[in-house]
């Protein structure tokens, strides 16, 4: 679960086909006080959701929480969790990505694209003696 130190008690996980995805950290990138980056395996054609949990012990320091979801560098969802709406804690499931087409707000399930690895090239190099 991605957890940021500036807001203890907030946890986020990605679920693929309803199951929690295993997360991987980039050893070259450290978390900051307000950002945590994790990577998961993309399974072509699989549907995924984002599950957020806010514990009742979360110390929000009297502030609302803005949640911004970015996938492949594009913002797909943004929302504010208002302090008064979630004092007891709770969960939030993000089941679809939103976008605006022809002035209309639309939503679609989040599904991993088919992965295209292109051509595979094998190069054989003789081992030195």
pLDDT tens for 30-50 read 877 777 778 888 888 999 998
pLDDT band at 86 (very low <50, low <70, confident <90, very high): low
pLDDT at 46: 92
Looking up tokens 């986020």, which residue turns up? 12
pTM: 0.69
Tokens matching residue 10: 């907030």
Closest by CA to 111, choosing from 66, 63, 44, is 44
């Amino acid at each position: 679960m991605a957890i940021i130190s500036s807001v203890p008690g907030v946890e986020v996980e990605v679920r693929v086909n309803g199951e929690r995805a295993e997360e991987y950290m980039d050893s070259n990138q450290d978390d900051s006080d307000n950002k945590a980056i994790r990577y998961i395996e993309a399974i072509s054609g699989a549907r995924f959701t984002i599950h957020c949990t806010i514990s009742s012990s979360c110390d929000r320091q009297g502030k609302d929480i803005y949640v911004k979801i970015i996938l492949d560098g594009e913002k797909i969802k943004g929302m504010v969790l208002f302090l008064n709406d979630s004092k007891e804690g709770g969960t939030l499931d993000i089941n679809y990505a939103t976008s605006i087409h022809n002035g209309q707000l639309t939503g679609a399930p989040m599904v991993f694209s088919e992965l295209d690895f292109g051509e595979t090239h094998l190069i054989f190099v003789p081992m030195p003696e």
